[in-house]
A = this chain, B = another copy of it.
Amino acid sequence: MPFSNVAERREQPPTLAVSTVIFSLRDDERTGRKSLWLPLVRRTREPFRGQWALPGGPLGPRDSLLDAAANNLRDTTGLIPRYLEQLYAFGDLDRSPTRRVVSIVYWALVREDDPHDTATSVLLDDPNVAWFRAEDPEVLGNLAFDHREIIEYALWRLRNKVEYGSIAHRLLGERFTLAQVREVYEAVLDKELDPANFRRTLRSTPDIEETDEFLSGGKHRPPRLYRYTGSTTHPLESENIS
């Protein structure tokens, strides 16, 4: 351990790191509904060796914050999310037991079946990366650093955001049924919604556009597919990955 006491390490200039909370929608046998999952990486070094943590790493001198988050994510998990938004900067003095670290945390929404998302292969092969239910108390209770608070804050932000904006499409594919959008809302808000009323409100927003296609294969009338148009987020919050 590089510093023997708190006073000493506090004199060091703060280190800058970047981490990411990634949410995806997956089936949850426990509830029968879909719910939110997130990938974690196992720490291979002290402190917190062996415990699960958010993917992250130091800020390189040549990377913007966003690039640093995206690059690190690619390297540690194989994920290349289309959507990455800054969540919060965490800078308390005692976040890490060994050094003063300020972490800029990003959050991402990914789709299980995204073609960009090469993660499936990487994640399956690497025992140090795995997906967990975002609200599993077992998981949240044993994370490294202050990552529990970070995830809980990310969940809070997600809920707030889904309520008054449309980010649901980021968890879905290019085309989607209204029932899929409803599943997103149900997973995030954790309650059931009336399909008919939900349809009515969604169709009244200008952001979602009907296509001529239908999704067949279910044991029922094939639902129409829709497409997302429009952008309600601030430029700062919708930068694209370079």
Nearest-CB residue, chain B, relative to A62: B10
Residues in B with CB closer than 8 Å to A12 are 61
Top 5 nearest A-B pairs by Cβ distance?
Answer: A65-B91, A89-B89, A89-B104, A64-B92, A156-B234
Query: 6 extra interchain contacts, Cβ-Cβ under 8 A, other than A62-B93, A149-B236?
Result: A10-B61, A64-B91, A65-B91, A89-B104, A91-B104, A153-B236
Contacting pair B61 A102 (CB below 8 A) = no
Number of copies: 2
Quote the shortest CB–CB distance from A166 to chain B (angstroms): 15
A131 at the interface (CB under 8 A from B): no
Question: Which residues on A are within 8 Å of B, measured CB to CB?
Answer: 10-14, 16, 59, 61-62, 64-65, 86, 88-89, 91-93, 100, 102, 104, 149, 153, 156-157, 164, 234, 236
Residues in B with CB closer than 8 Å to A16 are 13-14, 16, 102
Quote the shortest CB–CB distance from A54 to chain B (angstroms): 16
Contacting pair A61 B153 (CB below 8 A) = no
Quote the shortest CB–CB distance from A163 to chain B (angstroms): 8
Quote the shortest CB–CB distance from A92 to chain B (angstroms): 5
Contacting pair B59 A14 (CB below 8 A) = yes
Nearest-CB residue, chain B, relative to A164: B164
Nearest-CB residue, chain B, relative to A90: B65
Residues in B with CB closer than 8 Å to A91 are 59, 64-65, 104
Contacting pair B11 A236 (CB below 8 A) = no
Contacting pair B11 A61 (CB below 8 A) = yes
Quote the shortest CB–CB distance from A67 to chain B (angstroms): 9
User: Measured between alpha carbons, how far is A236 from B88 in the docked complex, in Å?
Assistant: 9
User: Measured between alpha carbons, how far is A102 from B100 in the docked complex, in Å?
Assistant: 16
